[in-house]
Structures are given as C-alpha cells and as structure tokens.
C-alpha cells in the first residue's frame, strides 16, 4: 500500500560521497531537495580506505572545492595525516592525500547536510523510480511513501543487489555490514536502463594492540600541510603516523596453496574487479616474479584501534586471511576486527549517459558515483557535484555545465566513462589527462571558480578574494620580469651558492626563476622591495614562470582540441545511413550519439578513417542544408 510522501524538486538516492555532494549542490542552488539513505549511519561513510585524495584523485578533490563542493572542507577539518605525493616530479603530478578520522569525516558531512537550507535527509530505501511519458516523476520507498519530483539523482554506490563474498561464505549485503538495496535494480531495468555487474573489495581491519610497529617502517606526514580547500588558510594538527611493511615468500606460498579456495579463481565471482586496486591473491598470481608487495598500516581514526591494512584486499576464506596476514613482519600476532571481503553490485553502462550525467533513457534522471562504474570517493564526489548542478540547471531550463578534457580532471573522468565506456571499475590517474600540465591540483581554483560562481555555489566574498588572488599573481609575474639583476661579483656569488651559473649581462628575476635550480624564495636577496604575498600566490607565480614554455605549448594543443570539440554533430544524425562508415563505427556512434567531432574521435572502435568519412558527411549535409534553405540544429 502506498501513500503520498510530499513534493520535491529533486530527490537524491544514496547519501555516500556522490549523494552528499549532489544533494548539497542542488539545495544550495535553491531547489527543494530530498536525500534518501538506506541508513543514516552510511552518510559519507568510508567503507574502504580511510583517506581522501591520492595520485589524480587529489586533483578531483581540489576541483570539487573550486566549484563549491564540500569534500575538501570536510577532509581539512577531519584529517589526521597529510602528504603531497610525487614531489620528486613536476607540479603536474603533485597530488594531495590525507588520512581521515573516518567517523569524524562522516559526522562532519552529516552535520553540514542536516543543517543545509532546502535539504531534508531521510532514512528510507528507494525501491522504485516512477516514470511517466519518458520523464522521472517520483520515487517510491520501502515504507510505501511516494515522493513526487521533477528530477532525481541515483547515487547508490555498491548497494544495488550487493553480495558479500568471503571464501565460500556469501550473502546479500551492503558495504561495512549494512543492508543491500535489493529492489531498485529491477525498477531501473523495467525502465530501459541496462545494468552490468562489477566487484570491489576491501582488506581486513585489525587491532592496533596486536601489531608490532618496531618491525615496520614509520611513514610520517608532511611537516607543512597543504590544505585541500582553497578556503582553508592553514592546518595545524598533531599528525598520526602510518607504517610500511611487506609480504614475503611465506605469504605468497599460503596464497598459492589456497588459491582454489578463492572465489576469484573458482568462477563464483561474476563481477569485474578493479585492475588498479587488485586483491592480494590477484597480485601474487599476476606478478610471479615479485617476492614482496608493499603493505601500509593506516589508522582509521583517533578514537579507535581499527587499522586498515592497505594492500591486502582479499576474498579468501577468513582462516586463510588470518594465516597469510600473520606471515607479514609486525603482524605475527595480529587479530582481526573485521575480515576482508569482496562485494559484487549492479551498475549501469555509463555510455547511456549524456555529458551532463542525465540518462538518455529517462529525462530528468541523473546518475553519479559507483553506479556509473567508477571507483573511489573522489570520483564519486566529483560526479555527484556535477549531477547536482546539472539537475538544478535542468529544472531551471538552462544549459548544463559540461567541463571538457582541457578544463579539468572532472571533464576527463566524465568524458572517459560516457565516451569510451568501461569494462572494469574506473579509477582516475594523472596519466589519463593529456593536458595535465594545465590541469594541476594547485590551479584548480583558477580553472573552475568562475563556473562555481556562475551557478551559485561560490559566495560573493569568496569570489572577490579569488579575483584579488588572480590579480596579485598577474602583477607579481609582471613585476618580476621587470626587476633586473646586475652581473656583478656579489650577485654571481649568490647564484653560484644556488648551484646556478653566473650571469654575463643583466637578467630579470623572472628569467632567473625559469632556471630549474632557482626558487622564487631564493631570489628575494635580489629583490628588497618584494611584496608580502600569500603562499598560494607565490606557488602560482613560480609555477607559471618556471613552466611558461611548456604551458604555452600545451595551450596550443588545447586550441587544436577545441576545434574538433566545436564541430558539433546534429543529435538526429543517423550514422547507419552514412556510406563509407564501418559497421562497428556506425553502431558505436549510433549508441553514444556524440555531441562533437572531438567526442566522436575518442569513441573506442571509431578509427581516424571513420572520422574523415564523418567530416565529409557533415560537410555534405551542411552544403545541402544551405542549398535548400533548411536549417539543421
């Protein structure tokens, strides 16, 4: 029996990292929003690793912040350790990663959600989407309530028909011991949304009291913490260390001797797992030549003994897990608090989404997070934010926000999944971004704050500070290129002390900073009238000067990229009728319906020759249109 639950502009299903960002974005943009979660204890839960950020992922978090999202602020407020990764390499691949106090992170995000105007949080399981005339009109929940809406965002994570797997023990379940969502999948399929089956896994949580850290290598955080949020000025905390240890031949022997007991190798696991985060048994079987693998001990918070054993994800039986864990130095007497497990779940085919993350099958229905086949909190949060923004713009009758590959890692992420499709859980990496020198984590605000301000997620005060920062960067670069250092003995001695060569004629400080070995701060000795600038301004000044030549070259590449992106393809184009297109290419193009020639060129199975045929066909279509006076949008 059903009953009316009320009217909302937007309903968000799932309150994980995607759902939290989606609901906050739509509510902050003035839309009456309902956020449904299967359990209030699952809001912004970290069922896997107790961290935010990492290589490529840290870029996403800073972009979320630049657009007005919440993830960066929450990790800044709840981190227990922080590191900038890849500092031995160039700034394009520098990425922040922070260990979180998992419960504090959850509680902080839940508090923000509960106190957000226009947003109501409810513990109810969505069981059915209600679609009329191809449009979403409501959501039914397990209590029988029917909530009316004009748009909905599904952020169901790994809950859809979730199945927990620990050796031969298998049961329906969601992550972290919560209930699964067993009914929504059927409703999606009934409405023409095809599903596929993916898998992910997590290692055991062990009792810190049973570890011997003296046999491990301590891993400290950075002395100077760089915040994730551009609004956080500084972070001063007593950081908690992590520890590094390694597997060994004994560990691997136990896995080899029991591999037939792993559901991954018996065929009982049908879901496809992540290539870049494999189980320990997969690593041992795949890399026979390696006699050890890294294992990190990561604290789950300040008020718990639970330790996350990074690198030992598994779905082997519990007795085998315990035996192999106890072969690792420092873990000889380890006791489990939670066993490692794998989880299978339903997700959609993301090629059936528009670039706005709206479904091609159901108008007003958006998808974000692991339901789209991605992995990770950061990828989920990024999609949730974009889905929340675009669902709101959809209701306003405005054009969606589409971030392209040259503008942000968010653009790379969304373009990859909707254009190329996925056959395994997608993980963001810096190598996926062809314009990564422009898409650095340090300049995410310069790239995306304007968009956040335009849609109403960046306050006027923050925007004015942003404009002031941009102007300070511009003025300081101009000034440094005008301050001349004279070629005298005193100055040359200073340069030699930097490990730099002498100058024979006057050079600007800007020219000196372009030298790899010379830092902005060092040149202060030549610059007594230097203004006092915030560290974030100094960072931008130095990177923009030092990498000016490379940045210009990449900007030229972006210009070429934009030419294809601006060649739009009419949505009604029938690719099957285009002579000369290979059958595979025509089928792929017909399925994905790319917005532009640029997107078409990135579709797997579409060759350069197919693109040439398509360009000719579009030109012939244009000429025919001009000739008969008709107009094709």
Find tokens 């949730």 and name the residue. 384
Q: Structural domain of residue 191, as residue ranges?
A: 3-199+345-455
CATH number at residue 492: 1.10.10.1800
- Same domain? For 604 and 585 the reply is yes
Mean pLDDT over each residue of the chain, to the nearest integer: 95
> Residue 633 pLDDT more than 50?
no
| pLDDT, tens digit, 9 for 90 and up, residues 435-473 | 999 999 999 999 999 999 999 999 999 999 999 999 999
pLDDT above 90: residue 361: yes
User: Token pair of 148, please?
Assistant: 């009316």
432 alpha-carbon distance from chain centroid = 12
Together in a domain, 17 and 127: yes
More confident call, 591 vs 348: 348
Residue 174 pLDDT level (bands cut at 50, 70, 90): very high
- Tokens 């759902």 appear where? 19
- Same domain for 82 and 185, yes or no, is yes
Mean pLDDT of 122-151: 98
Of 313, 342, 371, which residue constitutes the final position of a domain? 342
pLDDT at 370 over 60: yes
Q: Which residues make Cβ contacts (< 8 Å) with residue 397, sequence separation at least 6?
A: none
CA distances from 391 to 36, 50, 128, 383, 588 (A): 16, 30, 19, 12, 27
Strand order across the beta sheet in which 151-154 lies: 119-123, 33-37, 10-13, 151-154, 365-367
Domain-embedded: residue 558: no
Across residues 340-361, what is the average pLDDT? 96
Same domain? 162 vs 33:
yes
The pair of three-digit structure tokens given for residue 19, joined into one six-digit string? 């759902």
Residue matched to tokens 């159901």: 362
**Bridge partners for 217 per DSSP:** 244
- Alpha-carbon span 38 to 124, nearest angstrom: 5
CB 106 within 8 A of CB 14: no
Beta bridge partners of 309: 297
Bridge-based pairing state of the strands 169-172 and 163-166: antiparallel
Q: Report the pLDDT averaged over residues 377-401.
A: 98
The contacts of residue 609 (CB under 8 Å, 6+ apart) are 582
Is 466 a domain residue? no
Question: 544 and 578, same structural domain?
Answer: no
Query: Do 420 and 481 lie in a common domain?
Result: no
Rounded to whole angstroms, the maximal C-alpha distance in the chain is 90
CATH at residue 585: 1.10.150.570
Q: Which of 455, 416, 495, 377 is nearest to 97 (CA)?
A: 377
Question: Burial level of 326, CB count in 10 A (0-12/13-18/19+)?
Answer: middle
Cα dihedral across residues 521, 526, 532, 537: positive or negative: negative
Same-domain status, 233 and 288: yes
* 8 A C-beta contact, residue 312 and residue 320: no
pLDDT digits (tens, 9 = 90+) for 5-60: 999 999 999 999 999 999 999 999 999 999 999 999 999 999 999 999 999 999 99
**In the prediction, which pLDDT does 534 show?**
95
Pairing relation of β-strands 10-13 and 33-37?
parallel
For residues 226 and 302, state if they share a domain. Answer: yes
Where residue 58 sits, what CATH number does that domain have? 3.50.50.60
Rounded distance, CA 80 to CA 241, Å?
Answer: 9
Q: Are 28 and 456 in contact (CB under 8 A)?
A: yes
Give the tokens for residue 260.
């037939």
258 and 216 co-located in one domain: yes
CA distance linking residue 42 with residue 180, whole number of Å: 12
Classify strands 135-141 and 145-148 as parallel, antiparallel or unpaired: antiparallel
Residue 632's pLDDT is 42
* Residues with Cβ within 8 Å of residue 434, at least 6 apart in sequence: 405, 557
CA–CA distance, 570 with 589 (Å, rounded to integer): 12
pLDDT in tens, 299-326: 999 999 999 999 999 999 999 999 999 9
Tell me, yes or no, if the pTM score tops 0.85: yes
d(C-alpha 34, C-alpha 106), whole Å: 19
Examine the fold and report which residue of 323, 342, 361 is the final residue of a domain before the chain moves on. Answer: 342
Domain of 304: which CATH number? Answer: 2.40.30.260
In a domain, 554, yes or no: no
Confidence (pLDDT) at 624: 80
Dihedral angle computed from the Cα positions of residues 565, 567, 571 and 573, in that order, rounded to the nearest 10 degrees: -130
CA-to-CA distance for 28 and 72, rounded, in angstroms? 17
Whether residue 61 sits in one domain with residue 175:
yes
Strands 151-154 and 10-13: parallel
Answer whether 85's CB lies under 8 Å from 100's CB: no
Evaluate whether residue 468 is within a structural domain. no
Strands (E) across 428-570 are located at 484-485, 507-508
- Res 628: pLDDT: 66
pLDDT higher than 80, residue 423: yes
Does pLDDT of 599 surpass 70? Answer: yes
User: How far apart (Å, rounded) are the C-alpha atoms in residues 619 and 598?
Assistant: 16
Using the structure block, give the residue that is written with the tokens 């990770």: 376
The number of folded domains in the chain is: 4
CA distance 482 to 360: 55
Average pLDDT over residues 415-443: 95
Mean pLDDT, rounded, for 125-151: 98
**Within-domain flag for 560:** no
- Residues 438, 290 share a domain: no
pLDDT of residue 63: 98
What's the rounded mean pLDDT across residues 114-118?
A: 98
Within-domain flag for 182: yes
Residue 162 lies in a domain: yes
Whether residues 379 and 494 fall in one domain = no
Asked if residue 555 belongs to a domain, the reply is: no
H helical segments located in 231-343? 249-258, 263-266, 280-286, 318-325
């Amino acid at each position: 029996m059903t009953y009316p639950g009320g009217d909302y502009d937007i309903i968000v299903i799932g309150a994980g990292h995607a759902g939290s960002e989606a609901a906050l974005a739509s509510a902050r943009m003035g839309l009456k929003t309902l956020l449904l979660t299967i359990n209030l204890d699952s809001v912004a839960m970290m069922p896997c690793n107790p961290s935010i950020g990492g290589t490529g992922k840290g870029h996403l978090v800073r972009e979320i912040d630049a657009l007005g999202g919440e993830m960066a602020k929450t990790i800044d407020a709840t981190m227990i350790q922080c590191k900038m990764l890849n500092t031995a390499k160039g700034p394009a691949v520098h990425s922040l990663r922070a260990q979180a106090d998992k419960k504090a992170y959850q509680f902080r995000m839940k508090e923000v959600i509960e106190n957000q105007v226009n947003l109501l949080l409810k513990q109810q399981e969505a069981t059915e989407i209600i679609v009329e005339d191809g449009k979403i009109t409501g959501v039914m929940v397990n209590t029988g309530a029917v909530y009316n809406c004009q748009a909905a965002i599904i952020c169901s994570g790994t809950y859809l028909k979730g199945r927990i797997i620990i050796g031969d023990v298998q049961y329906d379940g969601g992550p972290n011991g919560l209930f699964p969502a067993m009914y929504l999948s059927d409703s999606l399929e009934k409405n023409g949304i095809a599903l596929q089956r993916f898998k992910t896994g997590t290692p055991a949580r062990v009792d810190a009291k049973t570890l011997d850290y003296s046999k491990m290598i301590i891993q400290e955080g950075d002395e100077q913490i760089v915040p994730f949020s551009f609004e956080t000025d500084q972070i001063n905390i007593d950081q908690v260390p992590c520890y590094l240890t390694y597997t060994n031949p004994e560990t691997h022997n136990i896995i080899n001797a029991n591999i037939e007991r792993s559901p991954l190798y018996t065929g009982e696991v049908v879901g496809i797992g992540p290539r870049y985060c494999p189980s320990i048994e997969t690593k041992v079987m795949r890399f026979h030549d390696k006699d050890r693998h890294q294992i990190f001990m990561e604290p789950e918070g300040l008020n718990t003994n639970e330790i996350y054993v990074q690198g030992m994800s598994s779905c082997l039986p519990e007795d085998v897990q315990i035996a192999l864990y106890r072969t690792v130095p420092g873990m000889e007497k380890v006791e489990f608090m939670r066993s490692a497990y794998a989880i299978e779940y339903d997700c959609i085919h993301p090629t059936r989404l528009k670039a706005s993350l709206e479904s091609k099958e159901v108008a007003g229905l958006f998808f974000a997070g692991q339901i789209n086949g991605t992995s990770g909190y950061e990828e989920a949060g990024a999609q949730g934010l974009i889905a929340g923004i675009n669902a709101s713009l959809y209701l306003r009758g405005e054009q969606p926000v589409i971030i392209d590959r040259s503008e942000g890692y968010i653009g790379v992420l969304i373009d990859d999944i909707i254009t190329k499709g996925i056959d395994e859980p997608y993980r963001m990496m810096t190598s996926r971004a062809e314009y990564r020198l422009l898409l650095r984590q340090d300049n995410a605000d310069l790239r995306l704050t304007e968009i956040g301000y335009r849609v109403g997620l960046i306050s006027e005060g923050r925007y004015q500070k942003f404009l002031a920062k941009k102007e300070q960067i511009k003025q300081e670069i101009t000034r440094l290129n005008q301050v001349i250092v004279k070629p005298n003995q005193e100055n040359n001695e200073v340069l030699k002390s930097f490990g730099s060569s002498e100058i024979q004629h006057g050079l600007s400080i800007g020219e000196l900073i372009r030298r790899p070995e010379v830092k902005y701060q060092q040149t202060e000795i030549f610059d007594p009238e230097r203004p006092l600038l915030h560290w974030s301004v100094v960072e931008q000044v130095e990177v923009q000067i030092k990498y000016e030549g490379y940045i210009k070259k990449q900007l030229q590449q972006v210009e070429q990229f934009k030419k294809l992106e601006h060649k739009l393809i009419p949505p009604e184009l029938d690719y099957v009728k285009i002579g000369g297109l290979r059958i595979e290419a025509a089928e792929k193009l017909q399925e994905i319906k790319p917005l532009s020639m640029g997107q078409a060129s990135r579709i797997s199975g579409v060759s350069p020759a197919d693109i040439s045929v398509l360009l000719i066909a579009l030109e012939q279509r244009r000429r025919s249109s001009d000739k008969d006076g008709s107009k094709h949008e």
